[in-house]
A and B are shown apart, each in its own frame.
Chain A
Amino acid sequence: MKENVVISVRNLVKKFGNFTAVDNLNFEVYKGEIFGFLGANGAGKTTAIRILSGLSVPTSGDAVVSGFSARRQPEKIKQVIGYMCQRFSLYEDLTVRENITLYGGIYGMSRQLIKESTAELLGRLNFENYADTLISSLPLGLKQKLAFSVAVLHDPGIVFLDEPTGGVDPVTRRQFWEMIYETASRGITVFVTTHYMDEAEYCDRISIMNEGRIVALDTPAELRKKYNASSVEEVFVKIARPNGRLHTA
């Protein structure tokens, strides 16, 4: 099991002045896993993701991502991960192919490799006819799929998805999750945050953050059992708002 650990977080703390955004996190993420990262707004999710993706340096403790330390080698981390954020991240005034080429180049892929990957990607998404279409003229669902495919174009060990399905219709969300499954089956670890609790059910394991700490971490089924809840949503409500239990009981 130990060899399969791709993210290992030890005593991770991040403080802004007197405010502790991330308070002593400890967890591991395994290869090929879909790891859901839940928590209310302001629970410290974003801060944690920023550290794990090499954007921010921890105050104390460390996180090892694909073998690189977030404290000492954030630049190395950036080269081996993929990232897709909530806001749509392709350039509207560039064509599909230009966007793919740009990101491929940024991640240091050779021209030949970019060409091959582009053809493969377009084929997989049935996008051949859109190769030279401007992104701005594609429907949101297609853009979102494309953004995800571009985020894993360079075959990263881990891809971070920060609320990737915000503002997307249910059908597209379902299709998007099919892509996530397909990616995980290729051995790419998916680290995803979401607001949609039904999506949390799709994850292999989920962690729930509250006030900078991880208050629960297990498979959705185990969590439901442990908290005697019928859905992850119920688990979340019970954990994130402990007072809620008094009222609903």
Chain B
Amino acid sequence: MHGPTAAYTQHDMKRFLGFVKKEFLHISRDYRTLIILFGIPAAQILLFGYVVSTDIKNAGVAFFDQSKDEITRQLTDKICSSGFFTKTGDLASQDDIDRIFKKGGTKAVVIFENDFGRNLVSRGKGEISIIADGSEPNVATLVTNYMTAIISDFNMDLAGQAAGAALIVRPEVRMFYNPGLKSHYMFVPGVITLIMILICALMTSVTITREKEFGTMEVLLVSPLKPIQIILGKVMPYFLLSFIDVIVILLLSWFVFDLPVKGSLALLLGESMLYIMMSLSLGILISTVSGTMQQAIFISLVGMMLPTILLSGFIFPIENMAEIYGWISSILPPRYFIVIIKNIMIKGTGFLYVWKETLILTGFTVLFIALSVRNFKIRLQ
């Protein structure tokens, strides 16, 4: 025979599980929720990965070789075999340059002067011009940077071959952690940060206000379910699903973009859980101040999504912001999570380097929960 306490907890658990199951039914019946939960993360990853990519891969380049000697052939080969560029044509005259740009597909034209090889050997100097398509400024800058790097590399090789040549000191710039300056390193942490806020804050605030709007919340409150069970039951499914989302995004970034987690995976997942809890408590807080679903959506989107995208350091570096935006940014929880996730994913640092941010996120969570409880009590009065 069960004691009264045991019987109660057993009943409580059963009640709670039935309630959680109902929440899963809601989610599975609403295709819009499913799209937000799984469609948007995948779409964002692929969008940022392929379309908004700031990397160069197989950019078209044409050559106007007026010298056609051994050295220009070697340099052409080197450029085309780098993986960054694909040859789109050999030009015969100055006029062809304009023509090939207009045809599209060519981002840059490399011009070797007459007798390039001979000049290089005899005078130690050869002239190359790189003409980039300035109608896409970002691409143009990247193309010229990559091209310059390849050419100076070629220079080094030549100098090395010529034994006894004077050593030339040249600066070498290397990017730590992200040697290819791959934008994936930037957007995968950003997308995780954004998606979690979107799913957790938006979805929980909407699902709770929906119960209020439809009057079912009142019935639930009068039922033997405790308020804490109602709230936990509502957010539990979203906790699980967002956690699955984190894992899906990490797998995508690993297999599609070749970006593994450098640091401890366990730490990263733990921090993600903390961040999810923070976002959920924010969602609960939003639901306590909004009476309708529209209000909840508005507060979540305008109040959370936009600042997260613009001010959390996801796209624009915080260091470059005007001071006031920096201040606003410092009260946005996502800002701290971005630091945490970048540190763990890309630099591979341990907890010692992110404890401060972890503490701040914990503080936000506690604050949001406290405010929600207070609002809830006032309403119940």
Given A89-B215, A93-B26, A105 and B15 touching (CB < 8 A)? Answer: yes
Inter-chain contact A91/B216, CB cutoff 8 Å = yes
A91 near B380 (CB under 8 angstroms)?
no
A-facing residues in B21-36 (Cβ within 8 Å) = 21-22, 25-26, 29-30
Partner of B222, one of A81, A87, A94: A81
Q: How far is the CA of A69 from the CA of B260 in the complex (A)?
A: 60
Q: Which chain B residues border A92 with CB–CB below 8 Å? A: 214
Q: Which residues of B contact A107 (CB under 8 A)?
A: 223-224
Q: Is A171 an interface residue (CB 8 A)?
A: no
Q: Which of A50-58, A121-129, A193-201, A221-229 has 4 or more CB atoms under 8 Å from chain B?
A: A50-58
Instruction: Tell me the complex Cα distance, A108–B11, Å.
Output: 6
Query: CA–CA, A85 to B218, complex, Å?
Result: 8
The reply on A78 being an interface residue by CB < 8 A is yes
CB pair B380–A106 under 8 Å, yes or no, is no
Residue B381 is within 8 A (CB to CB) of chain A in the complex: yes
Cβ–Cβ < 8 Å partners of B223 in chain A:
78, 83, 103, 106-107
**Contact residue among A98, A108, A160 (Cβ-Cβ distance under 8 Å from B15):** A108
CB of B89 within 8 A of chain A? no
Residues of B within 8 A of A94 (CB): 22, 25-26, 29
* Shortest beta-carbon distance from B232 to chain A in Å: 14
A84 at the interface (CB under 8 A from B): yes
Q: Any chain A CB within 8 A of the CB of B14? A: yes
Residues in chain A near residue B381, CB distance under 8 A: 16, 56
Is B221 on the interface with A (CB-CB < 8 A)?
Answer: yes
Q: Which of A97-122 contact B (CB under 8 A)?
A: 98, 101-103, 105-108
In the complex, what residues of B have CB within 8 A of residue A81's CB? 222
Contacts of A90 in B (CB 8 A): 216
Task: Compute how far the CA of A85 lies from the CA of B225 in the bound complex, rounded to whole angstroms.
Answer: 17
Q: Which has the most chain B C-beta neighbours within 10 Å: A83, A106, A107, A108?
A: A106
Tell me whether A88 is interfacial, beta carbon within 8 Å. yes
Docked-complex contact A55 and B22, CB < 8 angstroms: no
Q: Which of A136-166 contact B (CB under 8 A)?
A: 160
Choose from B17, B21, B30, B215 the contact partner of A88 (Cβ within 8 Å). B215
Q: Is the CB of B19 within 8 A of A106?
A: yes
Q: What chain B residues lie within 8 Å of A53 (beta carbons)?
A: 222
In the assembled complex, the Cα of A79 lies from the Cα of B12 at a distance in Å of 12
CA distance A94 to B28 in the complex (A): 11
When C-beta atoms are compared, the residue in chain A nearest to B27 turns out to be: A93
Interface string of B261-299 (1 = CB under 8 A from A): 000000000000000000000000000000000000000
**CB-based contact B214/A106 at 8 Å:** no
| Contact indicator A88/B19 (Cβ below 8 Å) | no
Chain A residues, CB < 8 A from B18: 101-102, 105-106
B269 CB, min distance to chain A CBs, angstroms: 32
Instruction: Identify which of B216, B219, B224 contacts A108 (C-beta below 8 A).
Output: B224
Establish whether residues B22 and A78, one from each chain, have CB atoms under 8 Å apart when the complex forms.
no
Query: Interface readout for B208-244 with A: 1 if CB under 8 Å, 0 if not?
Result: 0000001110111111111000000000000000000
Q: Known: A102-B19, A106-B224, A108-B15. Contact between A91 and B218, CB under 8 A?
A: no
Q: Which one of A16, A89, A102 contacts B218 once the chains associate, using CB atoms below 8 Å? A: A89
Chain A residues closer than 8 Å to B14, beta-carbon distance:
105, 108
Residues of B within 8 A of A98 (CB): 22, 25
Task: Give Cα A90–Cα B22 distance, bound, in whole angstroms.
Answer: 12
Q: Would A54 and B214 count as touching, CB distance under 8 A?
A: no
Which residues from A are CB-within-8-Å of B224?
75, 78-79, 106-108
Instruction: Give the complex CA separation of A158 and B30 in angstroms.
Output: 36
Flag if B216 contacts A56 (CB, 8 Å).
Answer: no
Whether A85 pairs with B380 at a CB distance below 8 angstroms is no
User: In whole angstroms, what is the CA distance A84 to B220 when docked?
Assistant: 10
Partner of A78, one of B21, B26, B30, B222: B222
- Complex: how many Å from CA A102 to CA B381? 27
Q: A102-B18, A108-B11 in contact; A56/B214 too (CB < 8 A)? A: no
Instruction: Report the bound CA distance from A160 to B225 in whole Å.
Output: 17
A93–B225 alpha-carbon span in the complex (Å): 21
Interface contact B222-A91, CB-CB below 8 Å: no
What distance in Å separates the Cβ of A132 from its nearest Cβ neighbour in chain B?
A: 13
- Tell me if A86 counts as interface (CB < 8 A to partner B): yes
Provide the bound-state CA to CA distance between A199 and B226, in Å: 34
* Nearest-Cβ distance from residue A63 to partner chain B, whole angstroms: 15
**Contact across chains for A86 and B215 when beta carbons are under 8 A apart:** yes
Distance to closest chain B CB from A192 (angstroms): 15
**Residue interface bits A175-190, CB-to-B below 8 A is 1, else 0:** 0000000000000000
CB distance from B162 to the nearest CB of A (A): 77
- The CA-CA distance from A61 to B237 in the complex, in Å, is 42
Cross-chain contact B380 with A55 (CB below 8 angstroms): yes
B12 nearest in chain A by CB position: A108
B225 CB to nearest A CB, Å: 6
C-alpha spacing A55/B22, complex, angstroms: 23
Are A93 and B30 in touch, CB under 8 angstroms? yes
B329 to chain A, nearest CB (A): 39
Chain B: CB-nearest residue to A79: B224
Residues in chain A near residue B21, CB distance under 8 A = 102
Chain B's closest residue to A94 (CB) is B25
- The interface residues of chain B lying within 8 Å CB-to-CB of A108 are 11, 14-15, 224
Some 6 contacts from A to B, beta carbons below 8 A apart, are A75-B226, A98-B22, A101-B18, A102-B21, A103-B223, A106-B224
Q: Which 8 A/B pairs are nearest by Cβ-Cβ distance?
A: A87-B215, A105-B18, A83-B222, A89-B219, A108-B11, A79-B224, A93-B29, A78-B224
Residues of A within 8 A of B (CB): 16, 53-56, 75, 78-79, 81, 83-94, 98, 101-103, 105-108, 160
Q: A89-B215, A105-B18 are in contact. List 9 more A-B contacts (CB 8 A).
A: A79-B224, A89-B214, A91-B216, A94-B22, A94-B25, A101-B18, A103-B223, A106-B19, A108-B11
